[in-house]
Each structure stands twice: as structure tokens, then as C-alpha cells.
Amino acid sequence: MRKIALLFIILFNILSISNIYAQNNNQKYNTDNQGLFNALKDGKTDIAINIIKLVTNVNIKDEYGWSLLHRAVQYNNKEVVKELLENKKIDMEVKLPKDTIITNDNEKWYADGDTPLLLACYYGYNEIVKILLDYGANLEAKDDIDSAMAIHIAASRGYSDIIETIMQSYAAKKINNLVDIEDDTGTTPLMWASMNNEIAAINTLLKYGANINAQDYDGWSALHFASASQSYKAVEILLKNNANANLENVNDGKAVDLTTDTDIVELLSKYTNR
């Protein structure tokens, strides 16, 4: 019976491949590596999954050094992501190569060393973040630019829903004080959100108890970053949550010294000792 069942499986796979060829006379989606990447790029999910079931190496990379899992994340293809993660040989922590630059909405993002999880956080794909974490993706994986982790990237991009997903995950419970975890310059997620004027992210991080007066290795606090970024709203929220306007950085600079916005100067002056 096992042999008969095996024969049926083989026959099914052969028919599936025949189907692929029949649908694509130019063999754009043939069963080699390029065909698989083409199917994924073009949104041919069924074809991509059929080919994945046949390939011997699910960790193949394209000409730019992107793994199949990275591309599935980039194209927000949840079905293919799940199919790949079901394979026991998948490398969930594979990194993007050096000098990888992503251009999105005319902005450049240096993605050296991004794992699929970091990439999902960059794009704001919350459902894929959930899937990756459910399958055991490393929440402490770091990029090769400034050792930013998933929560730093989500904070910098303003994805409060992803911050929620991360903080509520099983993996987060194993990491001591994740909400204040530092990158290689001592910058916390709250600082990342503050320097980018991401109000929703700031509020979410504060809800989870982020240390509002933490300072990086240069003595900058979230308030310093918000002030230097000319973000009145971020400065206002931080002050309302008891940010210390008198903290000094290594150059003896207070938050009020870092802005050229007169409204921010006026606001900070009310809280600053001179």
C-alpha cells in the first residue's frame, strides 16, 4: 500500500509540473531556481508552492543574494512564507548581503544583514511578523548596520501594531526588558521612534513601560532626539510622560539646545533649568 501511495504522490507531482508547463509555454515558471523566483515575483502562488515541493534546496538565493524566504516576505506572500517555514531545512535567520539598499517611497533603507523577520518589520507586514515569530524566528537577530533588532526597526518605521505583536509574543517573554533593548550605540526603541517622529510608536512603547529617560552612549535621551528632529508633538508627549528636560548629553547639551524650532524652544524652556 505504501508503494501505491508513493506512486500516486509521484504521479500527482508529475501532473502538477505538466500543468505548469502547459500554462507557461515560454517556461518562465519552469522548475529551476529562476522559475521559482519568477513565479513568486509575479504572484503565481500556486505555481511557486508546487515548485517548492519539488526543489531539494529551499535556501536558494537569487542573483542579488536574496533568499527565497526574503523574497516571499518582500512580496508579502503569506502562503509561500508558511510553505517555506514548514520545511525543516529552512534557514529562518539567513541575512541579506552587504550593501543591500532598499528604495521605498523615494527613501533608502540600508538592509545589510536583515533577516526575514527584520525585513518584515521594515515593510510593516504584521501578519508575516506573527507567522515568523510563531515558527521561532529569532527576536534578537541584529542587522549589520547598527545592530538594530526587530523592535528597533518597527519603532523607527512607526508600526505600532508590530510593536504590539512583538511585545505580546512568546519570544518576548524570554528577553529581559525587551522594550528598552539597545542597539550598538545604546539607542533604545523609544529613541528610534522619537528621532523619526513616530507618535503611535512612542505611545505604544510608553504603554509597555519604556524608560523615557534612558540615554545612549552619547548621552542622548528620547527627548534629545525628538527635539533635534524638530518634532513638537513628540516633545510634547515625552514631557507629559515625565521626560527629564535637564538631562545633558556628552557635550553638555540639553534637549532645548538641539532645536531651531521656536515653539519647541518655548515648550522645553518651561521644563529646563538654566
Confidence of residue 151 (pLDDT cuts 50, 70, 90): very high
pLDDT of residue 7: 46
The answer to whether residue 111 scores a pLDDT higher than 50 is yes
pLDDT of residue 25: 39
CA–CA gap between residue 268 and residue 258 (Å, rounded): 11
pLDDT of residue 30: 61
Residue range 59-72, pLDDT digits in tens: 999 999 999 999 99
The answer to whether residue 80 scores a pLDDT higher than 60 is yes
Instruction: Name the nearest CA neighbour of 139 among 113, 91, 175, 112.
Output: 175
DSSP string covering 144-209: SSS---HHHHHHHHT-HHHHHHHHHSTGGGGSTTGGG---TTS--HHHHHHHTT-HHHHHHHHHTT
Confidence of residue 6 (pLDDT cuts 50, 70, 90): very low
Note whether 93 and 145 are within 8 A (CB).
Answer: no
Top-ranked range on mean pLDDT: pick from 4-13, 40-49, 90-99: 90-99
Residue range 204-254, pLDDT digits in tens: 999 999 999 999 999 999 999 999 999 999 999 999 999 999 999 999 999
pLDDT of residue 24: 47
The answer to whether residue 31 scores a pLDDT higher than 70 is no
